[in-house]
Amino acid sequence: MTSLQDRAALLDDAAFAARPVPQLPPDQALSIEDAYAIQALVVAQRLARGERLVGLKLGLTSKAKMKQVGVNEVILGQLTDAMHRDEGDSLDLGPFIHPRVEPEIAFVLRGPLPPDPTPEEALTCVEAVAPALEIIDSRYDGFRFDLGDVIADNASSAGYVLGREFPPETDIGDIAISIAMSDGPEETGSSAAILGHPLNALAAAGRLSAARGITTSAGDVVLAGAATAAIPLSAGAVIGADFGPLGRIDLRLSPPPPPET
């Protein structure tokens, strides 16, 4: 096995067993090319277990996060059907390591994204827009990673919930969004925090997926990126996210298992 395959196997095992792994030391930092190569291997292992690709997710879509990491480009991850959760489900946190949740704008595609679309061209590929929750779960100790680490880890992809779908021409440019966990603090933001407009993220998804040889098709979901800071999840809590004109999503978390006797 090559070192890239070893790293992919390590990350896949971490996700499968819900056990974190150490971040790579600085002298072994991954290049962007190697990081995406590892991501492809990680996703391939999920597909080999019977999962199928259903879309894309964008990361680092706020200017503040880009500045923090020292980049000027968003990152891409891939979604599989095993990551999808229905809104009415009770989410079991057992399969996760240290999950967090973010409110996002989602696009449901009517056809494949072109390789370098303008936001307007990307919009012609959209069947519907929807509010969404993304569950992220870094496979690294302490949720600590650098840019290469997080790309290799499939951009911390772990799960997502879609709300009600709206027509593609719905105005999503500057929607006030809030999210809170029961008995916890509230995070607030706007869809405008997503690269100035979520359509800019959709166009970036077309560009990045084409560069990595990842195809999109009708029915795929594209998560445009976080509109607020992420909230850590706690068993037994309820997450509520308000998207103004796009409505609300509530996500109930299963209670912790009873103590062993």
> What does the pLDDT look like over 9-63, one tens digit per residue?
999 999 999 999 988 777 788 999 999 999 999 999 999 999 999 999 999 898 7
Contact present, 200 and 118 (Cβ < 8 Å): no
Tokens 């973010």 correspond to 102
Asked if residue 187 is part of any domain, the answer here is: yes
pLDDT at position 261 is 62
Q: Is the pLDDT of residue 68 over 90?
A: no
Angle formed by the axes of helices 3-17 and 32-48, nearest 10°: 50
Quote the pLDDT of residue 238: 94
Q: How many domains does the chain have?
A: 1
Residue 1 pLDDT more than 60?
no
Structural domain includes residue 259: no
User: Strands 157-162, 84-85: parallel, antiparallel or unpaired by DSSP?
Assistant: parallel
pLDDT at position 88, please?
80
Residue 176 lies in a domain: yes
Is 159 a member of any domain? yes
- Its domain, for residue 84, covers 3-253
- Letter for the amino acid at 155? A
- Per-residue pLDDT, 144: 85
- For the segment 213-261, what is each residue's pLDDT rounded down to a tens digit? 999 999 999 999 999 989 999 999 999 999 999 999 999 999 887 776 6
Residue 258 lies in a domain: no
Q: Report which DSSP code applies to 25.
A: P
Predicted confidence at residue 27, as pLDDT, reads: 74
- The per-residue pLDDT for range 185-218, each reduced to its tens digit, is 899 999 999 999 999 999 999 999 999 999 999 9
Element (H, E) at 156: none
CATH number, domain with residue 210: 3.90.850.10
Residue 18 covered by a domain? yes
Q: pLDDT averaged over the chain?
A: 92
Residue 260 belongs to some domain of the structure:
no
Q: Which residue has the higher pLDDT, 73 or 120?
A: 120
DSSP H or E stretch at residue 123: helix 119-123
Tens-digit pLDDT profile for residues 97-109: 999 999 999 999 9
Instruction: Please tell me the distance from the alpha carbon of residue 106 to that of residue 63, in angstroms, as a whole number.
Output: 19
